[in-house]
A and B are shown apart, each in its own frame.
Chain A
Amino acid sequence: MPNLEHPAYPAADLLHLESLVPCRESQVSMLLSIFGERQQFSFPSIFIYGHTSSGKTYVMQTLLTTLQLPHVFVNCVEYFTSRLLLEEILIQLQSCSGTEQVSPVRCDTLNDFVRLFKQALATRELQDQTLYIVLDRAEQLREMEANILPAFLRLQELTDRNVTVVLLSEIVWELFRPTIGCFEPFTMYFPDYSIGHLQKILSQNHPPEYSADFYAAYINILLGVFYMVCRDLKELRHLAALNFAKYCEPVVRGEANERDTRKLWKNIEPHLKKAMQTVYLREISSSQWERLQHDGGEPGQLKGLSAHTHVELPYYSKFLLIAAYLASYNPVRTDKRFFLKHHGKIRKTNFMKKHEKTSNHLLGPKPFPLDRLLAILYSIVDNRVAPTANIFSQITSLVTLQLLSMVGQNDQLDGPRYKCTVSLDFIRAIAR
């Protein structure tokens, strides 16, 4: 029962297309009806959004290539300046219009772009077809010049050619809309894949050596473990491929047959749980994981990235960091009480309780001036510390190591202010 029907395109192509885009049939048919026939003018700009790996890019790409619609596909992260972006569009245009010689183009402004774009379209053989320009990761457009986004939205009008701009993004249109107003694109939402969808898509390409049912059962177990934490299709597929060898192990050794689901589940489940704690978090790399699997070793012997938290610091750097931590998390007025030998008597605590209900650790670090840091340093280090150039350079190097951060980039003479960015655990480890 084909869902996709459109008079302009051959039924065979549509059927093929449908098999390629499982669980996205309704979106595709919607797009098809917007696109209309090849020569018909379409909506000037279409904005498609949806969560990570909800198939936006993939659907667009398959749709355009299977139906052989003329298109230009550009990733905005990759072409990070407007010039690169515009030039890339023009270059792709040249190559898809069939010109053999791809000559470098120079295009600095949108004005040039419109002119060159018209030229390029004029030389094309397929003048009567709609050209699609797909801008992937379109949120990057906001960081370019202010005229880029509005211009792309009404490119059809500006160039007076049959062109449709499709923007793909992970965030909603409301975050794009420029304040000065612009042409509103047709917005379209790609919902997340449900667990059923994921199961269907993942089971689709099973390895040739094993039956589809066997693989589907494996995917079922995999999703049972990972669905709670990860719905990213790409990531899931990667994990499936990584762990499949382990799943097949009993079958290969002849201890179980393909139908022995329970036995297979018992074999794979702890393994997958371990994978969730390590590979999925990139604590250990996929290739290390594979080697471990291959050698049959315990994953325990490989320490993950976060196992190496200890940082060795020079003596005074340690004290500087501790002093910075104290300065960041203690209010100024307690300094006298904590760091002076002959402080006054501690007042009744009623007054303090009222204000210090919330823990300072929940409020985050507060900035402190350099002088306070040094004063605390002098009082926590036992012997006398000379304020040498080395001490000051150590503060700067702590900043470059991102253990401290400088607040406000104002004049150094004004007394620089810092914040301590490390956690209590880190300080504890250092203070030992």
Chain B
Amino acid sequence: AHDFRSTSHDSEDTELRFVTCQSLWNQIKSETEQIQEDLNKQLLDNLVSFLSRSHSDFQEKTTKWTCRMKFREIPTAALVLGVNVTDHDLTFRGLSDVLQDNITPYVALLEAKDCPGIKNLMQKLMGQLMNCDVEVDSLEDEDCVQVSQNRIRCSMPSLISWYESVTKETDSETPSKKRNSSSRHWQSPPVVVIFKDMESFTTKVLQDFIVISSQHIHELPLVLIFGIATSPMIIHRLLPHSVSSLLCIELFQSLSCKEHLSTIIDKLLLTSRFPFKLGEKVLQVLINIFLYHDFSVQNFIKGFQLCIVEHFYSQPLSVLCCHLADLKKRVYSLSHDQCENIRRLPSFRRYVEKQESGKQIELLTNDSFLKEETEKLLEDLHVYHENYVSVLRCLHVFTSSLPKYPLGKQIRELHCACLENQVWETEEYESSLQLARMLNKTDLVSMLQQCVEILMSSSGKEFDKSVEKLKEFLTQFQNLEAEASQERDVSGSSQKELQKKTDLYHLQKTLLELKESRRSKKLTKFEMLRFEVVDYIDRLVRKYLVPADNRTLHEIVYFNAATVLRGHLNAAPRTALHTALNNPHWYLKNQALKCDGGGISNKAPDICIVYKLHLECGRLINLVDWLEAFSTVVMAGEEPNAAAASSDQVDDIIHARFIRAVSELELLGFIKPSKQKTDHVARLTWGGC
């Protein structure tokens, strides 16, 4: 997919970049898969216990009265997965793997698009079930023959007889070799049928299937799993009561996709484990696509992958975007061209300008000096990341508990704000500090404790002092409690004094005094301490949460090309088409086509002229007028006398060109023939784009 080699010459370490990119992506991929697995674990465990419970009475063949009297319902799990349909595949794959490992080898996944009728559904179901059986004991060839024979009659009885034969087989021949595989399942494992997208199935198919299988539930221990994207109410909407009363539905809910995303961001972006970082704009694009359009975590990860590929592809210096251990070797093996690349980086140029003149010359001329400096700077950048993440988490502890969340509730919002610009200069930061100065003591203490934990667990070495300082604050808060009681006495005494005074003059005087003192009241010790704490946090923020753009050499690890990404991920076909037709210069890069504002150039392709003319029309377009206008535009460049000569008779060639252009527009879906008026076409679009 990414062909680095052919595009640039080898002095830019293309080979190495490619390898680095791939290894990084593989790491990230396995990490995301791990996260996904952990998040789904709870859900899958619940489902597995439901399934193992569901047919527990199937083998026992109880003759108890209640069992005889009770109607045998089909155990059904309604699995609410959220609207992010693209993520479901992964969940289902995980689910069927888990089921096959723990419960039953007989799992069938059905999709609505494969099952327009009950016949197709049965075919698909039997195909999947019987094939899976062939896989389980692939040694027997006779089985395969039987399967193909059976496929002719896809009805429930043949399924049942298949099931009986299969279970009997595993019962009778459980000799040494098969013990391992079959001992995990019980004697008669349930048959699990998963409907991936419940909403898209037609009512009739579902109803028929449920009615049929409920008649055979005694012979075939069936369990249904409905994958639901919207709400479980859909079951009642799709199935009438007579059918839904055949089911024994239990509800399972998966984790919401927003939480899923938060975990992913937390584990992938807010960590110093991966050298690659996303710039603010890029992250914003990815998050916006997620929140505004699809809620799909898979797409988010795909977008992230695209960022990685794009970064390693387009930035030659990305070869230095590696783990700290490899850094030294890579820096020293840089070619001269690459050194020039470094010198060309804007952030490096800013850095150079700040240095004294002697060093400037060294940096710009001496490659080995440059390499030393680069290594140092990159190490600094790495340290900066470690500190950044820890302090960001600390700040998040504070801001996430403030009323109205001026800096956002999620840590990703805070992260974006910090990346964007110097966060302490924003109004939101100011107001959150104001609010933080009004926190009560218990909250403050618990937050401080959390911060201490975060800083302790971080790998940065600079935090020892901060941790000590925070701990000191904590002890001071504890000491305060003792003093608080004393203070109460003081205020009590002043109250007493007030009661003593009896005459009006003195009373007035003391009251005024009290008022005065209250206005310029000295801060209590607690308040002083609170100010100190908030100021300290503020200092930490100012020191460590500097936006990455200000760091030297940030271009190496940060991917910032948001427009490229947006073009790839959030394509706007209609806008692109409009631009192409309205302003052909944009794509064709022909100077002759460069037009000024609203004018129509006669050098533009015919379809562009026709398109521009049709923009001026209403809903119905008269073809004759259109042709007239078209020929006027086209003839405008030619000699005026020739045009005048044939003014009433349109040239055949122009006519043909016009017709071709119009039919091209029709093909593109801008117009269609109209039956309302003869010689008219109807516009299908409106507005500029």
Contacts and interface: CB of A to CB of B under 8 A. Distances in A.
Interface of A: 52, 75, 77-81, 84, 87-88, 104, 205, 207-209, 232, 234-235, 237-238, 240-242, 244-245, 281-282, 285-288, 303, 305-306, 308-317, 371, 375, 386-391, 393-394, 397, 400-403, 413-415
Contacts of B689: 387
A303 B232 CA distance: 12
Contacts of A314: 83, 290-295
Contact of B233 (A104, A309, A389, A397): A309
Interface stretch (B249-257, B452-460, B527-535): B249-257
Interface in B541-564: none
B166 interface: no
A390 B293 contact: yes
Contacts of A312: 82-83, 256-258, 295
Given A282-B247, A306-B233, A387 B574 contact: yes
B684 A285 contact: no
Contacts of A238: 69-71
Interface string B210-247: 01100100000000000001111111110001101101
Contacts of B73: 285-286
A402 B69 contact: no
B83 A317 contact: yes
B291 A402 contact: no
A282 B118 contact: no
Contacts of A415: 684
B686 interface: yes
A430 to B, nearest CB: 12
Given A241-B66, A308-B80, 10 more contacts: A104-B153, A205-B68, A237-B69, A240-B69, A285-B248, A308-B231, A313-B295, A388-B570, A394-B294, A401-B230
Nearest to B573: A389
A391 B294 CA distance: 9
B295 A306 contact: no
A311 B230 contact: yes
A375 B689 CA distance: 12
Interface string B63-80: 001101111010110101
B250 A237 contact: no
Contact of A287 (B66, B234, B250): B250
Contacts of A79: 155
Contacts of A387: 572, 574-575, 689
A415 B669 CA distance: 9
Contacts of B78: 305
Contacts of A235: 71, 245
28 contacts: A78-B215, A80-B208, A104-B152, A205-B68, A235-B245, A237-B69, A281-B241, A282-B236, A282-B245, A287-B54, A287-B75, A287-B248, A305-B249, A308-B233, A309-B233, A311-B231, A313-B295, A371-B685, A386-B572, A387-B575, A390-B293, A390-B294, A390-B571, A393-B294, A400-B200, A401-B230, A402-B237, A413-B672
A303 B212 CA distance: 29
Contacts of B68: 205
B253 A316 contact: no
A386 B571 CA distance: 10
B156 interface: yes
A428 to B, nearest CB: 15
B232 A305 contact: yes
Given A80-B208, A390-B294, A402 B156 contact: no
Nearest to A385: B292
A391 B231 CA distance: 22
Interface in B40-66: 53-54, 65-66
Contacts of A397: 83, 85, 294
Contact of B291 (A286, A310, A315): A315
A303 B250 CA distance: 10
B289 A286 contact: no
Contacts of A240: 69
Nearest to B213: A78
A152 to B, nearest CB: 19
A427 to B, nearest CB: 14
A394 B153 CA distance: 40
Which bucket holds chain B's interface residue count? 35 or more
B133 interface: no
Contacts of A313: 83, 295
A315 B287 CA distance: 12
Contacts of A393: 294
B119 interface: yes
B231 A388 contact: no
Contacts of B247: 282, 285
Nearest to B229: A401
A78 B70 contact: no
Interface in B591-650: none
B215 A308 contact: no
B118 A306 contact: no
B428 interface: no
Contacts of B685: 371
B310 interface: no
A331 to B, nearest CB: 19
Nearest to A403: B230
A310 B231 contact: yes
Interface in B661-689: 669, 672, 684-686, 689
A88 B229 CA distance: 38
Sort A-B residue pairs by CB-CB distance and give the 9 closest, nearest first: A241-B69, A238-B71, A207-B65, A305-B232, A390-B293, A315-B292, A285-B248, A388-B572, A241-B70
Pick from A81, A209, A375 the residue with the most CB of B within 10 Å.
A81
A242 B69 CA distance: 9
A238 B71 CA distance: 5
Nearest to B204: A143
Contacts of B295: 312-314
Nearest to B112: A400
Nearest to A234: B71
A334 to B, nearest CB: 19
Interface string B143-172: 000000100110111000000000000000
B420 interface: no
B386 interface: no
B232 A208 contact: no
A402 B235 CA distance: 12
Nearest to A104: B153
Contacts of B257: 312
Given A84-B155, A308-B231, A400 B197 contact: yes
A245 B65 CA distance: 11
B233 A305 contact: yes
B561 to A, nearest CB: 18
Most chain B CB within 10 A, of A282, A316, A400, is at A282
Nearest to B85: A397
Contacts of A388: 570-573, 575
A314 B229 CA distance: 13
B293 A394 contact: yes
A337 B200 CA distance: 37
Contacts of A80: 118-119, 208
B234 A402 contact: yes
A244 B155 contact: no
A400 B292 contact: no
Contacts of B375: none
Contacts of B684: 371, 413, 415
A300 B574 CA distance: 52
Nearest to A137: B211
Nearest to A143: B204
A402 B572 contact: no
A313 B572 CA distance: 22
Interface string B83-99: 10100000000000000
A84 B574 contact: no
A77 B212 contact: yes
Contacts of A285: 73, 76, 247-250
B199 interface: yes
Contacts of B230: 311, 401-403
- Among A77, A80, A241, max chain B CB count under 10 A is at A80
